[in-house]
Amino acid sequence: MTALPTAEDLSRSAREAAARCGVDLDAVAGDHPVTSPVNGARLASVRWQGAADVQDAVTRAGQAFQAWRTVPAPVRGGLVRRFGELLREHKADLGTLVSLEVGKITSEARGEVQEMIDICEFAVGLSRQLYGKTISSERPGHRLMETWHPLGVVGVISAFNFPVAVWSWNTAIALVCGDPVVWKPSELAPLSALASAALLDRAITETGAPADLSQVVLGGADVGEALVDSPGVALLSATGSTRMGRAVGPRVAERFGRSLLELGGNNAAIVTPSADLDLTTRGVVFAAAGTAGQRCTTMRRVIAHVDVVDELTDRLAAAYRRLPIGSPTEEGTLVGPLVHDASFKAMQDALEAARQQGGEVVVGGERRLADEAPDAYYVEPAIVRMPGQTDIVRQETFAPILYVLPYRTLEEAIALNNDVPQGLSSSIFTSDQAEAERFLAADGSDCGIANVNIGTSGAEIGGAFGGEKQTGGGRESGSDAWRSYMRRATNTINYSGELPLAQGVKFTV
Ligand code: UN1
């Protein structure tokens, strides 16, 4: 492991990457520091805005909506096509900014940008497929159909761990659906946000779309709250903790706005006696330790059959001991830093609680590189064997802790999978088709994502992404998630020259 990059190295590469995307870091500098989790040093600074800026952005976006909603959807797709091309061109630059701001290893940071490119391609195709249904009318000479119309301004609140991809899922779909977007990015990742938005602005200019279609407002909780409460925001799409969602959901509902919530996960894998343990080990390690345990989809629990739990734990522990932990910018690193000290503290507290609840830490949990970078929080991903699903196991700790629980019957394993407040992702490792089908059935996993022989994370954009219970119920990205971004009108057209009433009602004057 070579030395961690210096503060100068990191700010220079951030400055250069941002400039190539069209953002001059001097021009956006202000009194809010941007810190890199890679070495805990200051990367740059930005100016924060406030609630009044949100109102202004929503008003301008609302004006852009007046024009954009009548542009034919396939033409709107042309804007998203150009945006996707620019993302492809600047994949490495945006990847660098994501790495420096949130600590993702290069491969995962670029993978995040690839998700952005993928959703643009999906949205371009979708722009010709915003289908409604035609329905048989019970009345002669009548036609019944539904039409999907643009909804209005979409507000996006995104989290640090996917600082740009989640915005792009919302934005690419919103734009082809005819909606402008006002974005409050994570406070921890403003540079990636500004760079992504600059590329979209360039695409907007080049394709002649309304300039105010895309707005970014940097700031803290007051900015988020202003977006939540703004009557001009038709759909508020928010990603973050369950605590955040509990505050946001009712406030948006209060004003009869729509919300789309992507909140916490507590994702498990069931490992049955017939599982291929080699493949299982690889799948679990990526899902549990990858991204330093900071994905909503991170695997936090393994529910393993008593016949395989010891061998699986040994294999996992051996793999964990080999994990290269260090600077995410260095080739070969698989585990980068936690995003800040609070995550490290939450991890230590959770490990302590697990011990008190009968857990045994099998491997990991120690801090690394503290001497080289006292303000950066590198940590060994941990595996903890638990006697059962205790309180701490039922909570989401946003750090790399994998709890291992034993089971005897598949019914018991499925019950454990479901017996947590969250319902995002889940998987089963098995070679037995009946077990796999049982897990996917109506009385199987209760999560929005249920996988077979792959881990819980790393979903493709083609499917709808989201989950049940305290995960918030929202679905974004692929499949028919676009419907949340449009309003449906049901149309009845009478070409009969008569006026028959439905339900056989007679009303003749
Ligand atoms: C998130 O963690 O908020 O499935 C999103 C995955 C990624 C998206 C995660 N495609 O892990």
Looking up residue 63, the CATH number of its domain turns out to be 3.40.605.10
- Report residue 165 as tokens: 């991809």
Same domain, residue pair 365 and 231: no
> For ligand 1, is residue 160 a contact (CB within 6 Å)?
no
| pLDDT one-digit tens code per residue, 348-358 | 999 999 999 99
Q: Is 247 left (phi over 0), alpha (psi -120 to 50) or beta?
A: alpha
As a dihedral over the C-alpha atoms of residue 437, residue 438, residue 442, residue 445, rounded to 10 degrees, the angle is -100
Look at residue 308 in the predicted model and tell me its pLDDT. Answer: 98
247 and 318 belong to one structural domain: no
Distance 177 CA to ligand 1 centre (A): 23
Q: Measured between alpha carbons, how far is residue 201 from residues 83, 120, 123, 211 in Å?
A: 9, 15, 17, 7
Percent of residues, the chain, with pLDDT higher than 70: 100
Residue 444 phi/psi, 5-degree rounding, is -95, -135
Mean pLDDT, residues 134-146: 97
| Total domains, the chain | 2
Mean pLDDT (whole number) for 50-68: 98
- Domain contains 502: no
Q: Which two tokens stand for residue 126?
A: 């979708």
For position 455, which CATH number holds?
A: 3.40.309.10
- Calculate how far, in angstroms, residue 451's C-alpha sits from the geometric centre of ligand 1: 14
Spatial distance between the Cα atoms of 261 and 245, rounded to a whole number of angstroms? 7
The DSSP secondary-structure symbol of 338 reads B
CB of 457 shorter than 6 A to ligand 1: yes
Indicate whether 284 and 403 sit together in one domain: yes
SS3 state of residue 31: coil
Asked if residue 135 and residue 13 are part of one domain, the reply reads yes
Q: Ligand 1 mean position to 306 CA, how many Å?
A: 30
Co-location of 393 and 440 in the same domain = yes
Cα–Cα distance for residue pair 365/494, rounded to 1 Å: 70
Give the tens place of pLDDT for each residue, 392-404.
999 999 999 999 9
Q: Domain span at residue 271?
A: 267-460
Question: What's the whole-number average pLDDT of the chain?
Answer: 97
Is residue 262 flagged as an active site residue?
yes
**d(C-alpha 346, C-alpha 6), whole Å:** 27
Candidate of 286, 451, 465, 475 to mutate for ligand 1, largest count of ligand atoms within 8 Å of Cβ:
465
Q: Which amino acid is at 265?
A: G
Q: Is residue 382 part of a domain?
A: yes
Residues 276-327 have pLDDT tens digits of: 999 999 999 999 999 999 999 999 999 999 999 999 999 999 999 999 999 9
Q: Is residue 253 part of a domain?
A: yes
The region that residue 322 occupies, defined by phi over 0 for left and psi between -120 and 50 for alpha, beta otherwise, is alpha
Last residue of a domain, one of 417, 440, 460: 460
Are residues 203 and 211 in contact, defined by beta-carbon separation less than 8 angstroms? no
* One domain, residues 359 and 376: yes
Quick check: is 363 in a domain? yes
The C-alpha atoms of residue 329 and residue 327 are separated, in whole angstroms, by: 5
Does ligand 1 lie within 6 Å of residue 427's CB atom?
Answer: no
Contact predicate 217/32, CB 8 Å: no
Q: At 320, list the tokens.
A: 């964990």
Task: Tell me if 168 CB under 6 Å of ligand 1.
Answer: no
pLDDT, average across residues 477-503: 98
Answer yes or no: is 159 within a domain.
yes
pLDDT of residue 3: 78
Is 508 part of any domain? no
Q: Give the C-alpha distances (Å, rounded to integers) separating 344 from 273, 320, 493.
A: 35, 18, 62
Q: Is 105 inside a domain boundary? A: yes
Rounding to the nearest 10 degrees, give the CA dihedral for residues 110, 114, 117, 118. -170
Cα 38 from chain centroid?
22
The amino acid occupying position 279 is L
Across the range 201-224, mean pLDDT stands at 98
Distance from the alpha carbon of residue 251 to the mean position of ligand 1, in angstroms: 26
The verdict on 168 and 292 lying in the same domain is no
> 207 and 85, same structural domain?
yes
Question: Does ligand 1 lie within 6 Å of residue 158's CB atom?
Answer: no
User: Residue type for 145, please?
Assistant: M
Beta bridge partners of 237: 156, 260
- Residue 186 near ligand 1, beta carbon < 6 Å: no
Closest residue to atom 1 of ligand 1, CA basis:
296
**Active-site entry in 101, 115, 262, 380:** 262
Summarize pLDDT for 151-164 with one digit per residue, the tens.
999 999 999 999 99
Do 23 and 58 lie in one domain? The reply is yes
pLDDT score at 374: 96
What distance in angstroms lies between residue 261's CA and the mean position of ligand 1's atoms?
14
Whole-complex ipTM: 0.98
Token pair 């020259």 in the structure block, residue: 497
Q: What is the DSSP letter of 424?
A: S
CA angle 218, 224, 228 (to 5 degrees): 140
Comparing CA positions, the residue from 38, 6, 35 lying closest to residue 327 is 38
pLDDT at 2 over 80: no
The answer to whether position 2 is within a domain reads no
Dist CA 62 CA 58 (whole Å): 6
Residue 144, strand partner residues: 135, 492
Residues 228 and 347 in one domain: no
Q: Among 98, 162, 186, 427, which is best to mutate for testing ligand 1, by the most ligand atoms less than 8 A from CB?
A: 162
With the CA atoms of 434, 436, 442 and 447 taken in that order, what torsion angle do they form, in degrees rounded to the nearest 10? Answer: 170
Name the helix (H) or strand (E) containing 153. Answer: strand 153-157
Q: Does residue 1 register a pLDDT over 60?
A: no
CB 385 within 8 A of CB 297: no
**The pairing of beta strand 382-385 with beta strand 464-465:** unpaired
Pairing of strands 267-271, 299-305: parallel
pLDDT at 410 over 90: yes
Residues paired with 40 in a beta bridge: none
The residue type at 250? P
Same structural domain, 255 and 323: no
Q: How far is the CA of 418 from the centre of ligand 1 (A)?
A: 20
Kindly report, residue by residue over 222-233, the tens digit of the pLDDT: 999 999 999 999
Burial class (CB in 10 A: 0-12, 13-18, 19+), 171: buried
- Shared-domain flag, residues 250 and 293: no
